[in-house]
């Protein structure tokens, strides 16, 4: 249910394993287009490698080392795990080819309206009729991952929404360094974000010297409309044309969805996005792989498993001390060893990496939040 990235990825992984089951994908959308950009640090192979259209060997942040301090640039060489861009149209086309080859059914323009689990099957009510399935994977977005029925990882887990408005711009003069992706630039007005209890930064993805995606990004408890102020510093240097836009909201939470093996939530709805950063592409692939393995072996379909403790602490600090957030990211990039940082971001961290990441961060807020996370797990009063 939902044939976006997560639904299609599971189908592709099932197709790769030649699973002998009838697979039907339902999606409310009428068509596929280049509706989003997917970027990630490339740490693992996946079935969409051929859809990578650009690789950056360097990433950078502009962030302070102290609360309220001046922003400094920190650049990391990620040649061994480059930051890559995948073209959505290619991802969708590749998935649809694979589905067709495997004889799977993809029905577009079908709204799933209700899901009713029975003892040994699931009844799915759609805008075009009723289906019965042995199991369903549900990626329909939900109003909030903290909605009633969700089980926080323990107690009340901290949650933020990452919401953004991105502009694909063309500059008449050469303006961008095509070798460096700017993941976070905190040299922007934080007042609106702070008043909303969160933080703000600009993300810049240069495709070449004249073209880039400039994305105004907020991590706040609530979502609100965004303007185009993020373009001002670029427009001050060169004549810009906005060719198109993208927008999105990604839940940042460690809450677990209310699901079970026969009705498993996947993708953003399944809480697969990394709680402290909102990245999801790679984790969706990993979950898809695990699900396909389980189906191929006739085992119950598992939820996505992550070591969420460090994310929970990080998210808790962002939520409790948003004014300190730019400094936290600044220190993370400046002080954590590059390898440990990349492994933390890509969920391949060892306990030693986790310790090194923690050591890069200022102790007081992190120790306090760690204590709160432990209290939540033990269900003690905070
Ligand atoms: C603009 C944008 C940019 C992003 N960039 C990155 C990035 O660079 N890196 C990264 O790691 N992550 C990124 N993400 C986050 C994440 O990877 C994507 O949101 C990804 O598409 C999530 O996959 P999904 O399957 O959970 O959701 P989707 O891909 O959104 O799929 C959900 C599907 O459910 C369908 N649907 C909804 N309601 C119903 C219904 N009632 N019945 C049937 N179908 C329904 C929708 O039509 C949709 O196709 C981005 C997200 C957005 C929005």
How confident is the model at residue 307, as a pLDDT? 74
Is residue 152 domain-shared with residue 163, that is, in the same domain?
no
Is residue 290 domain-shared with residue 235, that is, in the same domain?
no
How confident is the model at residue 356, as a pLDDT? 93
Specify the residue with its C-alpha closest to ligand 1, atom 15. Answer: 280
Distance 268 CA to ligand 1 centre (A): 7
- Whether 313 maps to a domain, the answer reads yes
Whole-angstrom distance, CA of residue 12 vs CA of residue 95: 6
Distance 272 CA to ligand 1 centre (A): 11
Is residue 350 domain-shared with residue 219, that is, in the same domain?
no
Among 33, 38, 124, 167, the mutation site with the greatest number of ligand 1 atoms within 8 A of its Cβ is 38
Is residue 145 domain-shared with residue 13, that is, in the same domain?
yes
3-class SS string, 169-190: EEECCCCCCCCEEEEEECCCCC
- Whether 241 maps to a domain, the answer reads yes
Is residue 45 domain-shared with residue 104, that is, in the same domain?
yes
Domain of 347, in residue numbers: 309-378
The more confident residue out of 119 and 182 is 182
Among 1, 3, 4, the mutation site with the greatest number of ligand 1 atoms within 8 A of its Cβ is 4
Section 159-168 average pLDDT = 96
Q: Find the DSSP H helices in the chain.
A: 5-16, 88-102, 191-195, 232-235, 281-296, 309-320, 325-335, 338-345, 351-359, 363-378
Distance 5 CA to ligand 1 centre (A): 6
28 lines ligand 1 (CB under 6 A): yes
Q: Is the pLDDT of residue 234 over 50?
A: yes
146: confidence class by pLDDT, cuts 50, 70, 90: very low
Distance 351 CA to ligand 1 centre (A): 31
Is residue 46 domain-shared with residue 117, that is, in the same domain?
yes
- Whether 62 maps to a domain, the answer reads no
Q: Is the pLDDT of residue 143 over 70?
A: no
Is residue 103 domain-shared with residue 206, that is, in the same domain?
no
- Whether 301 maps to a domain, the answer reads no
8 lines ligand 1 (CB under 6 A): no
- Whether 63 maps to a domain, the answer reads no
Is residue 150 domain-shared with residue 175, that is, in the same domain?
no
What's the pLDDT tens digit per position in 43-84? 999 999 999 999 999 999 999 999 889 999 999 999 999 999
Is residue 127 domain-shared with residue 269, that is, in the same domain?
yes
Q: Which of 78, 94, 82, 83 is nearest to 32 (CA)?
A: 94
How confident is the model at residue 381, as a pLDDT? 56
Among the candidates 275, 296, 317, a domain finishes at: 296
Q: Is the pLDDT of residue 145 over 50?
A: no
Among the candidates 239, 262, 296, a domain finishes at: 296
Is residue 147 domain-shared with residue 163, that is, in the same domain?
no
Bridge partners (DSSP) of residue 246 are 166
309: confidence class by pLDDT, cuts 50, 70, 90: confident
Is residue 225 domain-shared with residue 266, that is, in the same domain?
no
314: confidence class by pLDDT, cuts 50, 70, 90: confident
Give how many domains the chain has, as a whole number.
Answer: 3
Distance 215 CA to ligand 1 centre (A): 17
36 lines ligand 1 (CB under 6 A): yes
- Whether 187 maps to a domain, the answer reads yes
The two most distant CA atoms of the chain are separated, in Å, by 64
Is residue 142 domain-shared with residue 237, that is, in the same domain?
no
The domain that holds 113 is classified in CATH as 3.50.50.60
């Amino acid at each position: 249910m939902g044939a976006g990235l997560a639904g299609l990825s599971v189908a592709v992984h099932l197709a790769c394993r030649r699973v002998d089951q009838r697979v039907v994908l339902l999606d409310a959308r009428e068509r596929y287009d280049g509706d989003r950009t997917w970027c990630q640090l490339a740490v693992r192979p996946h079935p969409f490698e051929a859809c990578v259209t650009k690789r950056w060997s360097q990433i950078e942040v502009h962030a302070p080392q102290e609360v309220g301090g001046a922003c400094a640039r920190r650049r990391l060489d990620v040649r061994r795990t480059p930051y890559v861009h995948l073209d959505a149209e290619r991802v969708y086309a590749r998935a649809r080819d694979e589905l067709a080859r495997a004889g799977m059914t993809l029905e577009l323009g079908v709204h799933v309206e209700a899901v009713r689990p029975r003892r040994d099957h699931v009844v799915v009510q759609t805008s075009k009729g009723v289906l019965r399935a042995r199991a369903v994977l549900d990626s329909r977005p939900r109003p909030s991952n903290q909605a009633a029925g969700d089980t926080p990882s323990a107690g009340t887990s901290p949650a933020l929404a990452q919401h953004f408005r991105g502009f694909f711009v063309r500059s008449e003069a050469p303006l961008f360094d095509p070798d460096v992706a700017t993941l976070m630039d905190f040299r922007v007005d934080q007042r609106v974000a702070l008043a909303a209890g969160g933080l703000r930064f600009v993300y810049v993805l240069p495709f070449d010297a004249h073209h880039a995606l400039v994305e105004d990004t907020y991590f706040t408890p609530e979502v609100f409309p965004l303007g185009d102020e993020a373009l001002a510093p670029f427009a001050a240097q060169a004549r810009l044309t906005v060719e198109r836009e993208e927008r999105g909201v990604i839940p940042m939470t460690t809450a677990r969805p209310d699901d079970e093996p026969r009705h498993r939530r996947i993708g953003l709805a399944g809480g697969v996005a990394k709680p402290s950063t909102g990245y999801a592409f790679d984790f969706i692939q990993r979950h898809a792989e695990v699900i396909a393995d389980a189906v191929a072996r006739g085992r119950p379909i598992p939820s996505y498993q992550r070591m969420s403790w460090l994310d929970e602490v990080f998210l808790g600090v962002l939520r409790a001390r948003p004014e300190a957030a730019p400094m936290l990211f600044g220190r993370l990039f400046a002080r954590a060893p590059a390898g440990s940082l990349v492994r933390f971001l890509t969920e391949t961290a060892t306990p030693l990496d986790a310790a090194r990441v923690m050591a890069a961060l200022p102790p007081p807020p992190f120790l306090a939040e760690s204590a709160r996370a432990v209290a939540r797990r033990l269900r003690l009063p905070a």
